[in-house]
């Protein structure tokens, strides 16, 4: 499986994200956080006894840089986000993964077509670099967006 879109009730999003990160064990990955700060996500993962040593965080929530090893990108800068994710995929030899939580949050800052284009670029790049992409989105938000991006994913769960 190269790419998976998970549509789930909002109250189960973090639980699903935890399961995904846990399933990748010692494989390097990027966690793109669109609804919680890196610090908050890392605390949630550690509380669930999930090793975060192989995770690189891209925080699209916190306005202020808190650590040198965390990338902060505004959610309206999809060009920078796509560049950072692509650079990660190209820079890691072997298998890696990307998890994008709350995908529909991007609709607050960008129009539907821009978000769909971003998803298409990420999934295309991932398929060329042995990278698994998992995007999560709440069931109730962004139906039009979800309809536009279904075909970019190898598998869609929960629709």
Nearest partner of 84 among 30, 44, 14, judged by Cα = 30
Q: CA-to-CA distance for 50 and 154, rounded, in angstroms?
A: 26
What pLDDT is attached to residue 139?
Answer: 77
Per-residue pLDDT tens over the stretch 25-55: 889 999 999 999 999 999 999 999 999 999 9
What pLDDT is attached to residue 1?
Answer: 55
Distances in Å between the Cα of 73 and the Cα atoms of 5, 56, 140 are 22, 13, 25
Per-residue pLDDT tens over the stretch 102-140: 998 999 999 999 999 999 999 999 998 889 999 999 876
pLDDT class of 142 with cuts at 50, 70, 90: low
Q: CA-to-CA distance for 18 and 7, rounded, in angstroms?
A: 15
Q: Would you give the end-to-end CA distance of the chain in angstroms?
A: 18
Q: CA-to-CA distance for 103 and 136, rounded, in angstroms?
A: 6
The average pLDDT across 16-26 equals: 93
Above 90 in pLDDT, residue 58?
A: yes
Q: CA-to-CA distance for 65 and 51, rounded, in angstroms?
A: 22
H helices within 6-159, ranges in order? 13-23, 38-47, 78-91, 106-109, 112-128, 143-149
What pLDDT is attached to residue 109?
Answer: 94
Q: What are phi and psi of 69, to 5 degrees?
A: -95, 15
What pLDDT is attached to residue 59?
Answer: 95
What pLDDT is attached to residue 93?
Answer: 82
Q: CA-to-CA distance for 37 and 18, rounded, in angstroms?
A: 15
Per-residue pLDDT tens over the stretch 59-93: 999 877 778 889 999 999 999 999 999 999 888 88
Question: Judging by DSSP bridges, how do beta strands 96-100 and 29-33 pair with one another?
Answer: parallel
Say which CATH architecture domain 3-157 belongs to.
3-Layer(aba) Sandwich (3.40)
């Amino acid at each position: 499986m190269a790419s998976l879109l998970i549509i789930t009730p909002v109250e189960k999003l973090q639980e699903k994200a935890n399961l995904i990160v846990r399933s990748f064990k010692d494989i390097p990955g990027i966690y793109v956080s669109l609804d919680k700060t890196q610090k908050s996500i890392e605390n949630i993962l550690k509380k669930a006894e999930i090793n975060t040593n192989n995770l690189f965080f891209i925080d699209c929530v916190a306005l202020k840089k808190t650590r040198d090893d965390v990338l902060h990108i505004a959610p309206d800068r999809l060009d920078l986000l796509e560049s950072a994710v692509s650079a990660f995929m190209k820079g890691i030899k072997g298998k890696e993964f990307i998890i994008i939580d709350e995908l529909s949050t991007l609709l607050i800052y960008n129009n539907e077509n821009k978000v769909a284009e971003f998803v298409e670029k990420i999934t295309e790049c991932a398929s060329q670099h042995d990278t698994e992409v998992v995007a999560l989105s709440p069931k109730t938000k962004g139906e039009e967006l979800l309809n536009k991006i279904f075909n970019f994913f190898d598998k869609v769960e929960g629709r």
